[in-house]
Amino acid sequence: MASHLVVRACPPFRVPGAAGDPGVAAAAPELERDARSLLDGAELDRARAMTARTREDFLGGRLAQRRFAADLLGVPTSDLTAWYSCPRCGTGANISHGRPGYLLRGHAAPLLLSLSRASGWTLLAGVVAPEPGQRLGIDVEDPARADFVGFDDVVLTVAEQRHLAGLHGTSLLRGRARLWARKEAWLKMVGTGLQTAPDSLDVLGPHVDGHAGLRDLLPEESGLPAELVAAVAVVVLP
Ligand SMILES: CC(C)(COP(=O)(O)OP(=O)(O)OC[C@H]1O[C@@H](n2cnc3c(N)ncnc32)[C@H](O)[C@@H]1OP(=O)(O)O)[C@@H](O)C(=O)NCCC(=O)NCCS
């Protein structure tokens, strides 16, 4: 076991947007079968309320995360119990949202995890045997999703808005998505998510900081396609 960061990008199990593709019909039953045999009750309950496409993304991500965690720990997936932490609702087997984690044969697994989904891809990060106080957050964004009026006002600080001023088209969308990914990675690391207003967090700077431990993930490290952008935060809190 090692306490370094491991990142895994999991490709879509179906072609995004390809409703009616024969591959979709074949993938979904296999996914449902794996989910029923490998996921826990609270995860399946949460999936039950979802529409088909969201449900597929959710189940695919949770299965990928469980297999990733089992690989990192060197244990069978069946030894793991999902153990999520929500800043509002608490921690336990009945919590289906919030910061991911697992019990390993009834005890907290020595593993930090973070997950993000975009455009059918699931991006996973893990640190085995973390240092005391160590925290992890990861995020992937599709720049096409940053193409809406009001993005800058809701998401960016004044300094960040100035930083993107003058950019247009693809460059602007990639610039927005880059900052958005950094913010979500940071806020997942902290554990508050978007309960913290994103326009209160500045993620500009020569090393993406004052936030030591926050950095962009390039495709050669993440394994994601080049059109997506990603960031990771690995921090030891005092
Ligand atoms: C965390 C958050 C920023 C993720 O944003 P997103 O772009 O919608 O989704 P992503 O695909 O990037 O990430 C989703 C993953 O973030 C993780 N996550 C959710 N809340 C988290 C938290 N508080 N801390 C760390 N990670 C968290 C989960 O692994 C989730 O995966 P899941 O869908 O399998 O449960 C956003 O969902 C959020 O702020 N959630 C918290 C809101 C909250 O606390 N609500 C109160 C509920 S009672």
Alpha-carbon distances of 152 from 64, 111, 176, 208, 231, rounded to whole Å = 33, 35, 8, 18, 19
How remote is the CA of residue 98 from the centroid of ligand 1, in Å? 5
Question: Residue with structure tokens 């591959």?
Answer: 23
119 within ligand 1 shell (Cβ under 6 A):
no
CATH architecture of 9-113: Alpha-Beta Complex (3.90)
d(CA 112, CA 235): 11
pTM: 0.93
115 within ligand 1 shell (Cβ under 6 A):
yes
Question: Residue with structure tokens 């996973």?
Answer: 124
d(CA 238, CA 225): 35
Tell me which of 167 and 25 has the higher pLDDT. Answer: 167
d(CA 111, CA 3): 9
By DSSP bridging, strand 121-128 and strand 5-10 are: antiparallel
How remote is the CA of residue 219 from the centroid of ligand 1, in Å? 23
How remote is the CA of residue 22 from the centroid of ligand 1, in Å? 32
The per-residue pLDDT for range 44-69, each reduced to its tens digit, is: 999 998 988 899 999 999 999 999 99
Q: State the average pLDDT for the chain.
A: 90
181 sits in which H/E element: helix 169-190
Residue to probe by mutation, ligand 1, list 94, 111, 116, most atoms within 8 Å of CB: 116
Domain positions in the chain are 9-113, 131-238
Residue 15, pLDDT above cutoff 80 = no
By DSSP bridging, strand 102-104 and strand 111-118 are: unpaired
Tell me which of 81 and 211 has the higher pLDDT. Answer: 81
60 within ligand 1 shell (Cβ under 6 A):
no
Domain 131-238 -> CATH class: alpha beta
How remote is the CA of residue 99 from the centroid of ligand 1, in Å? 7
183 within ligand 1 shell (Cβ under 6 A):
no
Q: State residue 187's pLDDT score.
A: 95
Range 96-102 average pLDDT? 97
